[in-house]
Structure 1
Amino acid sequence: MLVVAGVLFLVAAVRVITGAHGITSVGQTSTALRLAVPIGLAGLGGLWAERAGVINIGLEGMMILGTWFGAWAGVQWGPWTGVLVGILGGALGGLLHAIATVTFGVNHIVSGVAINILAVGATRYLSSFTFADMEGGTSKQSPPIESIGRITVPWLSDALDTLNDKHWFLVSDVAGLAGGLVTNLSLLTVVAVALIPFSRWALWHTAFGLRLRSCGENPSAAETLGVNVYKYKYIAVVISGGFAGLGGVFLAEVASNIYQEGQTGGRGYIGLAAMIFGNWMPGGLALGAGLFGYTDSLNLRGGGQNVHALLLLLAILLVLATAWALYRRKYATGAVSAVTGLVLFVWYLSVDEVPSQFVSAAPYVATLLVLAMSAQRLRMPRANGRPYRKGEGT
């Protein structure tokens, strides 16, 4: 929470210095949340699988299955049926991954990549004789899906929007952040956000979660204590696919109201990056998804001006990172941070608006920078990705 408060203070200062008031507006926060949810759900799916010791590179393919099955059922039987069927579609991809990796011992990376390829081909084939035969659909997109419903807290939303328009230091920025959380909020967003504390509780505060995590840390020791390692790995990977499928449903039913080929746009991979940034913890994962969603939203709202302000923010953060690295006597890391920060600061001073190509690439550049800066503190589950066979520890 201290880190979040510190970053919010810096963002408020950058907004005042640059005059880019859109970076903390209600609309910016609302858009960032909508873009962060599918990334967060994919990352949450990766978290469940990897806590049980199974690397899930196939999150992207499971999201694709979620978008297609969610849209297919949503068009015919309504949006909430689409949500359930989309989760099942993603879980089916998770089941295939579990069969390949847990039962047959296939390399986790190879299996995940195969599922990604299979999902693209399968959904393209299915669309050719389902959506193409529906009114308003084609072989590459579905007919429109009924809205899943949105909520707004009227009096609170109006008050926060008014306060945000005052452009007061920090106060208006907090109002913009809070306003985005109570304005035009999809019901599916509420469900997705609630899954973060639920996963924390289920994995760290229940006997089920302890057994599941033991399979990712030391499966041989877990086996000697009577834990059915195969069963827990299967459960974790199927749940992982279900979460990724829900992220795909969100893209089809909330982010837009149709299924389109290529709709996921690599969000499964970014979700995996958010999970790693969050150190395999739900809270850190949520922060990572929020960061990537926010940088992506800058591309959609305000474009060059907002990303230009982001250059100054990154330069300041890198200065702080340099000071911290020097304090811990990590001189090489400090030197890299200092040089990168100086380059960004000079770039900020030399231009008034960044090129559109960099605006589009900003989310991916932010992903690389954040992962590079956080790599020193990461610790994945000890047995993550290692093949396991029953009785090998006895």
Structure 2
Amino acid sequence: MSEIESTSTVTAAGATAPAKGGGRRKLTLPVILLFVAGGLLLFSLVRAVSGADDLTSVGQVSGALQLAVPIGLAGLGGLWAERAGVVNIGLEGMMILGTWFGAWAGYQWGPWTGVAVGILGGALGGLIHAIMTVTFNVNHIVSGVAITILATGATRYLSNFTFAEAPGGSSKQSPRVEGIDRITVPGLSDWLGDLQEKHWFFVSDLAGLLGGLVTNLSVLTVVALLLVPGTWWVLWRTGFGLRLRSCGENPVAAESLGVNVYKYKYIAVLVSGALAGLGGAFLAIVSTGIYQEGQTGGRGYIGLAAMIFGNWMPGGLALGAGLFGFTDSLKLRGGAENVHAMLLLLAILLVFACAWTLYKKKYTAAVVSAVFSAVLFLWYSATDILPSQFVDAAPYVTTLLVLALSAQRLRMPKANGMPYKKGQGK
């Protein structure tokens, strides 16, 4: 089958047909940039009112980016698997394998070897998941949970006779891994930093955002950022990606048109595991420079949440990962003061939500939004700082809120998570 024939026939299988009954418009680059500009304007307003000048500083943005990368890589892994029809709850376990194998190879043979071996570790988890779900039709959720449990136990066991006997290591952590080179654009970085410190409305916030993208940036961060448009191009602009997505939309129709469904599902889940492993290696080598037991901290699940928030699209996923990374960064930089300022941000967002729901004549939702907005305004006005427990929980609360608010607009691949056997359409 030629490339043109393959592309046209897979289109007939339903991979790219829009959903009937008012399907949503996809997030395009201009729309994403408009969201970013609107969000930055809102952050400028909150910063000016609250006085939390670190909210959009170069350090804040740089830290948020570093925290967002592992989440984004896990989300990309979930995107690859689920676009082929395989639910990958095991992303957390594959990240754990990536952290352990990345650190194990990294402290012995250098950081880039650690990155490569971390990718292989995650891909190993992906291979197990593919065998269980694609070949043996095991329930996808059961398989994913089992892989996470297996990865946790296996890495704990391996650490006892590898890291525990290495100089500077223990049964719960590895020796320190050499860091990967970092990039700072000379001149531009300093100019943007000086501009951000002037605290001008919007201009300084924009300078802080851009400064965070050109200051103390790991080479591996650049690679991770390029994987977002790379994934979009492969899955939405190539015949290979079209056939892969057809397996997640209508595998029976795809098979009838000559697509090897098993092959594409295996490729997708292997790539999914490799990306999650890369996220784990990033945590061990770039973020901390060391493997520690439990250091993934649920980022695989948060990556899955970012993927769902992004409606199974790379652009939306990147926005979701950035949001979760930023919330996590608030906890680490400035802590309670920055999170306290976010109460004002949430209150303003709920005012917009109230106005929108009134426009849509959804009066119950409008009343609920108005009540919660008033509560947050009062909370912000009556306090100067938030309890440390709330600050620590902020990333996870954000995850729950985002999923709850975005649930109504989601459209997953039609055959996602459904069992499939070769020839079942005959």
TM-score range, shorter chain: over 0.9
Residue 325 of structure 2 is aligned to residue 284 of structure 1: no
1:305 shift after superposition? 0.7
**Matching of residues 160-239 of structure 1 within 5 Å:** 160-239=192-271
Give the whole-Å Cα distance in 1 for the aligned partners of 2:384 and 2:236.
48
Give distance in 2, aligned partners of 1:36 and 1:9.
21
For residues 106 and 326 of structure 1, the distance between their equivalents in structure 2, rounded to whole angstroms, comes to: 46
State the Cα deviation string for residues 43-73 of structure 1 (Å, max 9, x = none). Answer: 0000000000000000000000000000011
Distance across 1 between alignment mates of 2:345 and 2:399: 15
Structure 1's consecutive aligned runs of 4 or more residues displaced over 4 angstroms after TM superposition are none
Q: Identify the residue that residue 393 of structure 2 maps to in structure 1.
A: 361
C-alpha distance in 1 between matches for 2:364 and 2:285 = 47
1:3 paired residue among 35, 40, 44 = 35
Aligned: 1:28 with 2:60: yes
Tell me the residue number matched to 1:66.
98
In structure 1, the partner of 2:178 is: 146
- CA deviation digits over 1:23-49, x for unaligned, max 9? 000000000000000000000000000
> Partner of 1:114 in structure 2?
146
Partners of 2:305 and 2:363 in 1: CA distance: 26
Which runs of structure 2 are paired with 1:25-104 in the superposition (5 Å)? 25-104=57-136
Cα deviation 1:239-283 (Å, max 9, x = unaligned)? 000000000000000111110000100000000000000000000
How far 1:392 sits from its partner (Å)?
A: 1.4
Gaps of 5+ in 1: none
SS of 2:187's partner is helix
Instruction: Map 1:305-344; keep pairs closer than 5 Å.
Output: 305-344=337-376
Between the aligned partners of 2:155 and 2:331, the Cα distance in structure 1 is 29
1:339 is displaced (CA, Å) by 2.4
Counterpart amino acid of residue 158 in structure 1? D
Provide closer, same or farther for how the CA distance between residues 329 and 393 of structure 1 changes in structure 2, counting only shifts above 3 A: farther
Indicate the residue corresponding to 1:241 in structure 2. Answer: 273
1:21 counterpart letter in structure 2: D
Structure 2 spans left out of the alignment, 5+ residues? 1-32
Of 163, 169, 174, which residue of structure 2 is paired with 1:131? 163
In structure 2, how many angstroms separate the alpha carbons of the residues matched to 1:333 and 1:94?
Answer: 41
Q: Distance in 1 between matches of 2:281 and 2:418?
A: 31
Q: Tell me, yes or no, if structure 1 residue 259 matches structure 2 residue 294.
A: no
What secondary structure, in the 3-state scheme, does the structure 2 residue paired with 1:340 have? helix
Question: How much does 1:318 deviate?
Answer: 1.2
Q: 2:217 is aligned with what amino acid?
A: L
Q: Distance in 1 between matches of 2:418 and 2:364?
A: 32
Distance 2:74 2:41 in 1: 29
Q: Which amino acid aligns with 1:205?
A: R
Q: Secondary structure at the match of 1:252?
A: helix
- TM normalised by structure 2 equals 0.92
Q: Counterparts of 2:377 and 2:227 in 1: how far apart (Å)?
A: 39
In 1, the alpha carbon distance for the partners of 2:372 and 2:399 equals 15
Partner of 2:16: none
- Aligned partners of 1:331, 1:71: CA distance in 2, in Å? 54
CA distance in 1, matches of 2:419, 2:362: 35
TM-superposed CA distance for 1:184, in Å, is 0.4
Residues 320-329 or 79-88, more deviating: 320-329
TM-superposition CA deviations, 1:213-257 (whole Å, max 9, x none): 000000001001100000000000000000000000000001111
Over the aligned positions, Cα root-mean-square deviation in angstroms equals 0.8
3-state SS of paired residue (1:154): coil
Give the percent of matched residue pairs that are identical in Structure 1 and Structure 2: 76
Question: Residue type of the partner of 1:67?
Answer: T
Q: Give distance in 1, aligned partners of 2:369 and 2:282.
A: 37
Q: CA deviation at 1:340?
A: 2.2
CA drift of 1:335 comes to 3.0
* Structure 2 counterpart of 1:342, one-letter code: A
The offset of 1:331, in angstroms, is: 3.0
Shift of 1:186: 0.4
- Matched to 2:390, the amino acid is F
